[in-house]
Amino acid sequence: MSMETEELTGTELRYFGKMMAAISHEIKNSLAIINENAGLMEDLSLMAKSGHQLDPQRVEALSGRVIKQVQRADTTVKKMNRLAHSVDDPVKEIDVAELLDFTMELGKKSAASLGVELRVTPPPSPVRINSNPFLLMNLLWEVMCYACTRVDGTPAISIAVARNAKGVELAFTPVNDAGQDGFSLDEAPFSGLVSCLNAEILNLADSRALVLTLPETV
């Protein structure tokens, strides 16, 4: 195994681990709320057995909270299932804007901790490419995190998705020029993913944009 492959595998594992940690945290929160309400329902049951009148509205409210959390956990498990199966096909047709939305949904807790709101401007019609779903999610996430650390107090980053001559481009704005400090995008943590997906990324200082270009086919 080459050093480049080892580094890429490490990047993939870190991304998968981070997303699974976020997902498991969501499931744990739902289970905690279900457990709390189950305890309250048990208390009501014991009170009813001892002769106290059962309040139907309170029982209904408690069962409603449990149902809500079961639905929330089910949605979370479906996200986990999609993430797990994203490695099934090395290359498949992908709706880029839809995958971007899913990637943001997966990492919304981590993104919120950065204090920057992400706003997507989708294309007029779906833009599809043939690529590796898991690696592309990984790359999109890494570029989003990179952009969020270079906003200098700007509360939001806009991500515009559009078709271009090579395939599709995603423009992240505003992003400050990292080149001022001699930083090269070749040194960024996502450089291996960019190479692996035959993508290109440019830091445009004049327009304060970070532009990721993805080919129609890997």
Question: DSSP readout, 70-107?
Answer: HHHHHHHHHHHHHHHHTTS-SSEEEEHHHHHHHHHHHT
Q: What is the pTM of this model?
A: 0.84
Q: Clarify whether residues 182 and 100 are in a common domain.
A: yes
How many residues are there in the chain?
218
In three-state secondary structure terms, 166 is coil
pLDDT digits (tens, 9 = 90+) for 31-49: 999 999 999 999 999 998 8
pLDDT digits (tens, 9 = 90+) for 170-182: 999 888 754 444 4
Q: Clarify whether residues 69 and 104 are in a common domain.
A: no
Of 48 and 207, which is predicted with more confidence? 48
For residue 52, what is the DSSP state? P
pLDDT at 189: 77
Is the pLDDT assigned to residue 168 strictly greater than 80?
A: yes
pLDDT at 182: 44
- Which of 73-82, 127-136, 140-149 bottoms out in mean pLDDT, i.e. has the lowest? 140-149
Ranked by mean pLDDT, which of 93-97, 141-145, 153-157 comes out on top? 93-97
Domain count, the chain: 2
| CATH number of the domain encompassing residue 175 | 3.30.565.10
Q: Clarify whether residues 71 and 113 are in a common domain.
A: no
**Which of 29, 62, 85 delimits the end of a domain?**
85
**Which of 36, 66, 85 delimits the end of a domain?**
85
Q: Clarify whether residues 107 and 62 are in a common domain.
A: no
Whole-number Cα distances in Å, 77 to 52, 53, 80: 39, 38, 5
Domain range for 119? 92-215
- Cis status, amide bond into 133, omega within 30 of 0: no
Percentage of residues in the chain having pLDDT higher than 70: 90
